[in-house]
Chain A
Amino acid sequence: MLDVSKLLDEIQSAPYAELSIAAPHSGLVSFGELAPGGKVFGPSGPWKEKPGTLLAIIERERNKRPIYAAEKGEVMLVHEELAGTFVQAGTEIMRLRHFLSKEEVLSIILKKALHLFTAPERAKYYFIPAVDIKVKVSGPKAITVHDGMELFIMSRMKRETPLNYSGPEGVIYAVYFNHNQNMDAGQPLIGICPPDLVGAVEDAVMRVQTDWKEEE
């Protein structure tokens, strides 16, 4: 069985992801003014249309290609010795440390703890009426699902088909779709948690929600 509190402790002991920035293709490397400890930012703007911080430039055949930071974080290491030299594709030129946000930590925990049932095709999804009433009255956690159980109605272009649940037995921990919302194929619809793990997961989520401090 998954030990949720141990997982959380593990994340807390190293609350970041390390990103290795590699040369996308061969070429001459030149760095900007970034030094270890420097802050970098990911793309910004309402459509993420403004690129992040400029990390390095790789020049090949008189074509300068800038490399931008994809996420917010801190510079750990700059391979200064490569500046002005010709590197091969895939060579690491820089390493960034990206501190995990609350949402990212939660997604790590839930990904490990939950079984996700995904949408088989783009459509609108509803619970069947019997389940729907239960969800509305006592919340999704009141429902235990098992393999082969009729659970959803899949509605597309006014054509409604029943959809059976397949996967391990458990309670519905999270519902990811809304009424009248189109879900793409492959998007998760519900997250299923083994019944004995519910308490531990809830506890961990609460701890993250209240205590997690995002490092700058």
Chain B
Amino acid sequence: MDIEKKLHHLNERLTYIRDIFAGKHNENVRLLETKMADYREREHILSAKDREAAVTTLEDLFGFVERKLEADLTPMDKVRIVRHPQRICLRDILENVYDNYTEIGSKDEHSIDPSMVIARAYITRRQGKKTFNQSVMVIGQEKGHGEEFRNGGSVKPFGNAKAQHYMQVAETENIPIHTYIFTPGSYPVEDPPGAGQQIAKNIYEMSGLRVPVVAVISEGGSGGAEAIGLADRRLMLSHGYYSVISPEGAAAIEGRLREGERASPELIEKCARQLKITAQDNLRMGYVDHIIQEPELGARPYHYDFFRTLRQEILRATDDAVLSVRGFAPFRAMILRSRRKKAEELDLDSVHVRWSLSSSARDRLLAKRHRKFRKLSRHAAPYLRPLSRQIKDWFNEFGWDFYAHFKYDFFGRRKQSVSHALEEIDAEVRVVTSRIMAPWRKLKGKLFNGKSRRQQAETERQLTELSSWDEQDQRGGHWKYVSPRAKEDRAITCPNAAAQGCLDLWAPDLFGEFAGVCPNCGHHFPMEYQWYLHNVFDENSIYEFATELEAGNPLEVEGFDVKIEQAKKATGQKSACMTFEAQINETKLVVAMLMATFRGGTVGAAEGEKFIMAAERARKKRYPFLAYVHGTAGIRIQEGTNGVIQMPRCTMAVRRYIDAGGLYLVMYDTNSYAGPVASFLGCSPYQFGIRSANVGFAGPGVITETTGMVMPPHYHNVYKALARGHIQGIWDRREVRFNLTQALLTMGGPNLYYR
């Protein structure tokens, strides 16, 4: 019986090897197969003792082959490892790493989203005769071992919302959070609260969580991973991957495949290699802090030693995060940080570190988390400028800080208190005088019929004359910038012509006077970003900064250098993000603009860094901050994790800005999708769409490919986005200037200079 079990187990190991190498290393697979078959043939003539010996030999052989194959693992093999049903999953970890746990809000498929598992768990540690039960909130995607209803760990928007809720609970309870990332990516349906918007809310929430967070990455698929991945300590399993897109998705883009076509295995393999998705690559680039070594060919549920290692690493990471911000513990901190052999052998189950934090320690934790992410990915987009400029910039920033502090915090506040006191006195005096003067006013009213002659004339004029058109808003069709398409002599058909009966439009009219808007149905044709630069902001008020930051090819993806050079040449820009200061009706603001013309407005390390610099500038100068998205296709996949990490980085910068009392506005034009919408754009409380724009997480093609569902037309249209609650309003292009002025007047925190 025991032997049968062992054989069954060996058979599973064989299937596993066959699956993860997908046709490679056939000779090794065949060797194992023949040895197994040999044994089966001889089985009945062997004695019980001989059988045992033969099985042990077989086991040794398996061990040997696995060790041998381990050395030949390619990135794509690792992708197959993490996707395999035999791979460890979150529930294995809950069973084997924690001493006790209760699942919150799920029982198998009966859950708001079975692919997101939340559990309250504790770890028991012993110090001498005392035992300590240390509570944690465990949050992670659950792939299950081939359980269909888990959706392969693709979390739906409400699953992420549940995770957000329990992060807040953990914060209230002052217990650390352990997140386990086992997701190929988020499920891209836009059900409320919206795939992208919910991830954005999660990231925003995590950037301000006042408890230690430790993340462990096994399968880190882009947005889905970031939704629970912003942590103080990020650990990664040695056979995991962490990437911006699945290698298949990258290959489909790289090979320019159309819907339904499949990329060749060689191309997929190449993309997996070029994207630098493995744990070792990510450690080298600094996006994870430590790698947890797995057994040969990846951890499976029977690797009990591995769970022990994982438990030690989790304890170490949590202790380290706590001790790094808390009072006095020099020896424990030293031991935890040391990665020397002796220190690693220390059993952390017998060392006690209390995990709850005081209020000031929580502040330090948060500040440290922000500093940590601010430093990441700088190597991928170095800000090259001469030393003199660096010094000048430093002085400038210091100057703004000092000036703003003096003007708004020190002087402003005193001025405010004086003026408040004067207002009070003034109001009192007015009440008294109005009482005293009441009889006189009554008499005057009786004598002159209540109104002076001048007032009467004014009322008469208002009632009899026609009101005049406000030239300011639409400028009577006289725009300062006119699209070059207006020079073409041709007619254009509005896409709604069949439904709305729009007549053909003459291009010079449409792109000139009409500002790209169909006069019949209001359809907005895409316009160049220059149109906004000239027609929205005050004349000659634009001052560009951080121009030296250039988009590059940090992963040295083959052929991408040429493409990025072409984009720079064609657009005259150095990256897809332009950052500038501008004025609207003399209100100064900082703007970060993503341009669709530069590689689809994708965000890489340089764009992210520029965006952060803009947010920081706005915070230092107490200006409102506008993100104008002329168009963005998502994170630049050729930059791999250098791009993905911009999601938490930029969101944290936005969070710092909003927490400091700033006004962060987002305006979507044309098409805005994926990573940026699911992070630093989607987290804004004030997001507006230009009419006819599309806002969403994944485009219709990607949704069909990943979920098999066909979405109705106009699924991502701004009106749908407004109805689902993703954005807060829809603006007409011709009235953007007016609406922005209006927004500046009615929204925003008290810290803005003009308030």
Contact = CB atoms under 8 A, between A and B. Distances in A.
Pair from one complex: yes
Interface of A: 25, 45-47, 49, 60-63, 65
SS of B interface (majority): loop
Given A46-B710, A47-B713, A62 B504 contact: no
A25 B503 CA distance: 10
A160 to B, nearest CB: 30
B747 interface: no
Nearest to A62: B490
B493 A61 contact: no
A85 to B, nearest CB: 19
A45 B491 CA distance: 30
A65 B710 contact: no
Nearest to B492: A63
Contact of B491 (A46, A47, A49, A63): A63
Contacts of B710: 45-46
B489 A62 contact: yes
Nearest to A24: B497
Interface string B114-137: 000000000000000000000000
A131 B493 CA distance: 53
A144 B600 CA distance: 67
Interface residues of B, number: 11
A61 B712 contact: no
B504 A25 contact: yes
B400 interface: no
Contacts of A45: 710
A63 B490 contact: yes
A62 B504 CA distance: 11
A65 B493 contact: yes
B506 interface: yes
Give me the 10 closest cross-chain CB pairs, A-B, nearest first: A61-B491, A62-B490, A63-B491, A49-B713, A47-B712, A61-B490, A65-B493, A63-B490, A47-B713, A60-B491
A37 to B, nearest CB: 27
Nearest to B497: A65
Interface in B503-524: 504, 506
B489 A61 contact: yes
A61 B713 contact: no
Contacts of A49: 712-713
B491 A62 contact: yes
Contacts of A62: 488-491
Interface string B452-494: 0000000000000000000000000000000000001111110
Given A62-B489, A63-B504, 14 more contacts: A45-B710, A46-B710, A46-B712, A47-B712, A47-B713, A49-B713, A60-B491, A60-B504, A61-B489, A61-B490, A61-B504, A62-B490, A62-B491, A65-B493
Nearest to B488: A62
9 contacts: A25-B504, A45-B710, A46-B710, A60-B491, A61-B491, A62-B488, A62-B489, A63-B491, A63-B492
Contacts of A61: 489-491, 504, 506
Contacts of B489: 61-62
B712 A63 contact: no
Contacts of A46: 710, 712
Nearest to A60: B491
A135 to B, nearest CB: 36
Contacts of B490: 61-63
Contacts of A63: 490-493, 504
A61 B505 CA distance: 10
A146 B491 CA distance: 57
A105 B506 CA distance: 44
Interface string B517-556: 0000000000000000000000000000000000000000
A62 to B, nearest CB: 4
